[in-house]
Amino acid sequence: MALLGRMTRRQQAIMAASVISNGMMFATLSSVSVALPEIQREFDVSRSAINWVIAGALLPLASLVLVGGRLGDLFGRRRMFLISVTGFGLASALCGLAPGETLLVAGRVGQGLMIAIGAPLALANVTEAFEEEEKGWAIGVLSAGITLATLSAPLGMALVVQLASWRWLFLPIAPVCALLVLLTWRYMSETRVPQGKSLDLRGLVLLAAGLTMLAVGSEQAGYWGFDWRTFTLVSAGVATLVAFGLAERRAKAPLLRVELLRKRGVTGSVVCLAAMQWAAIGFSVYLMLYAQQVLELEPLAAGLLLLASGLGPPLFSSLAGWLTDRGMAAWLVVGGLAVAALALIFTASGVQRYQDVLLIPLFFVFGTAAAFVYTPSSASTMIAAPEAEEGVVAGLTMQARQIGSVVGITATSAVLVAVEWRMRDALLLGPDAYFSAEQRHALDGLLSDSETGNRLLNSLPPGQRPNVVEAAKEAYVTGLETALLVNAGLLALVAMLGFVLLRPVWRRIEPPALEDLELPLRLRVSELRPPRYRPASQPPSW
């Protein structure tokens, strides 16, 4: 608190701009899921289309998260930070004013792009503004601000959606960004552009193209089935990512040092981070739809579920870090993944029984388990990497989480939709019968209470309407249950893989015994301990 009072006006302005910008950016990433039912109802779109409100922001972030800091080095941190904040405000305004789903997704893509550029620069700006002995404190303030924003976002956004409109989640961001631009322009100085650095454009294009094809192919698998279109897109995405890896090995300034993945500790941590994020994004997004469309909870009540899942990381990350420093990284990661898998299994059981009260503790348990995966995995990656590569590896862990989010939300959607449609067809039409694409869109609208869904419902005889709605709910619940169990199986497999890959890291960071430390004078520790009492006439023998 004393340091807060000693900050100069310039430091206060830079800290405020960094905390507010990063807080807004990260809060809008996935907490918008609480508004998805309202957006689906207003735009009368399918569940596939509404998924891209989340995936549209995650995809450019996963592709460009390693580029933001380098762009600041090449073109100036102040300039790129101004561009990111301005662009984020404009993209948010587009989201809030969007007349349809296409422009809303376009605005979300713009938000993800600006987050990828601005998030790394906020940290760099804060560390540049403070003296060496104050940098740790400044980074702590920045982290606390981001944590507070992401923790309060679900409830705040749910309250806005319930009392006003989902559009007000985005519209106030534009004037706030305008204020941040003024603060940055007035108080932040430009950095010099270092010489000899370049941007790996070929790697950037290959990574973005590969992730896009993989995400679209995975998401559409639920609608197309596993036919030639799905196979072509997914195969092309995988091949492009392989080409990205090969290109990075020859690049002068690679986005990703591929050779780092040869280290078992790095590979194990990256896989565990991606898998945990895969399960977490599907857990939060599709259970929000379940809470509001099946259980018919108000947005504020659904926001409480997201709040419960977000309490774990701020409460237990410090404990996880303390235990990691004492050689328990492998056990924490494996245990966290196992507990998260069990939470998904129990959640699937509760979902099938429509037990909404059970969801709150399960959300909390899942979020707590995630805290015991994220912190030790990130620390294990840094421990396993050479000291000269720590900055690159830190970016790799962040990118692994974003890639896990993108692939996770699309793959979970594919499983859910495929099972939901098959179940719905069987319940309403019987075996070996299928609805048309137009009829499926109308049935999707039954749960979201959209215009198309209501039109379909009104066309049915009054006696059949409750049965059709119940069939739609049962089909969605079955699809969600299957998706949760599939993700639980994924976490269990990765937990076993992580135990094998992370055990060398666990052994490495086990602290040595004090007696075995090698001292400069080659003396044993026991020889350095003076007796409890020594007469004054006897000088120390050592």
Per-residue pLDDT of the chain (542 residues), as tens digits, is: 445 556 788 888 888 888 888 888 888 887 788 899 899 889 988 777 788 898 889 888 888 877 777 787 778 888 888 999 999 999 999 999 999 999 999 999 999 999 988 887 877 777 777 776 676 677 767 767 777 777 788 888 889 999 989 999 999 999 999 999 998 888 887 776 555 567 778 888 888 888 888 888 887 776 676 677 888 888 998 999 889 888 888 877 777 777 777 777 788 888 999 999 999 988 888 888 898 888 888 888 888 887 888 887 778 877 887 887 777 888 889 999 999 999 999 999 888 877 777 788 998 999 899 888 888 887 777 666 665 555 566 677 778 888 898 889 888 988 998 888 888 878 777 766 666 667 777 777 778 777 887 888 888 888 888 888 888 889 899 999 999 999 999 999 999 998 888 775 544 444 445 444 444 444 444 444 444 444 444 444 44
Q: Please tell me the distance from the alpha carbon of residue 137 to that of residue 144, in angstroms, as a whole number.
A: 10
pLDDT at 539: 43
Q: What's the distance, CA 375 to chain centroid? A: 14
To 10 degrees, what angle do helices 312-324 and 299-310 make? 10
Cα distance between residue 185 and residue 174, in whole Å: 17
Size of the chain in residues? 542
Please enumerate in sequence order all residues whose Cβ is within 8 A of that of 77, keeping only pairs 6 or more positions apart, or say none.
121, 124, 125, 128, 190, 191
Cα R_g (the chain), whole angstroms: 26
What's the pLDDT at 136?
66
pLDDT at site 190: 75
- Report yes or no: 176 and 19 within 8 Å, Cβ to Cβ: no
Nearest CA among 517, 521, 515, 518 for reference residue 542:
521
For residue 529, the model assigns a pLDDT of 45
Q: Note every long-range contact of 355-361, with CB atoms under 8 Å and residues 24 or more positions apart, other chains counting.
A: 356/291, 356/295, 356/297, 359/287, 359/291, 359/305, 360/304, 360/305, 360/308, 361/308
| Per-residue pLDDT, 386 | 62
**Is residue 311 classed exposed, middle or buried when 0-12, 13-18 and 19+ CB atoms within 10 A define those classes?**
middle
Query: What is the C-alpha to C-alpha distance for residues 371 and 465, in angstroms, rounded to an integer?
Result: 44
Q: Contact at 8 Å (CB) between 77 and 201?
A: no
Backbone torsions φ then ψ of 450, nearest 5 degrees: -80, 175
Nearest to 257 by CA among 269, 240, 272, 245: 245
User: Given this model, what pLDDT does residue 393 score?
Assistant: 67
Contact 223, 274 (CB under 8 A): no
Q: Which two tokens stand for residue 115?
A: 């987050």
* Residue 434 backbone phi and psi in degrees, to 5: -135, 145
Buried b (16+ CB within 10 A) or exposed e, 119-143: bbbbbbbbbebbeeeeeeebeebbe
State the pLDDT at residue 84.
Answer: 92
- Quick one: fold of 259-509? Growth Hormone; Chain: A; (1.20.1250)
Q: Rounded distance, CA 78 to CA 122, Å? A: 10
* Confidence at residue 523, expressed as pLDDT on a 0 to 100 scale: 40
Q: Where are the domains of the chain?
A: 8-189, 200-252, 259-509
Q: How many helices (H) and strands (E) does the chain have?
A: 20, 0
Structure tokens given for 399: 């990118």
Q: What is the CATH number of domain 8-189?
A: 1.20.1250.20
Place of tokens 């940055």: 184
Is 315:371 a contact under the CB 8 Å cutoff? yes
The 10 Å Cβ neighbour count of residue 29 is: 21
Domains 8-189 and 259-509 share a fold: yes
Q: How far is CA 338 from CA 134, 264, 324, 505, in A?
A: 39, 20, 17, 19
Q: What is the pLDDT of residue 381?
A: 73
Q: How far apart are CA 233 and CA 217, in angstroms?
A: 5
Contacting residues for 315 by C-beta, under 8 A, at least 6 apart: 368, 371
Helix or strand run (H / E) with residue 336: helix 329-352
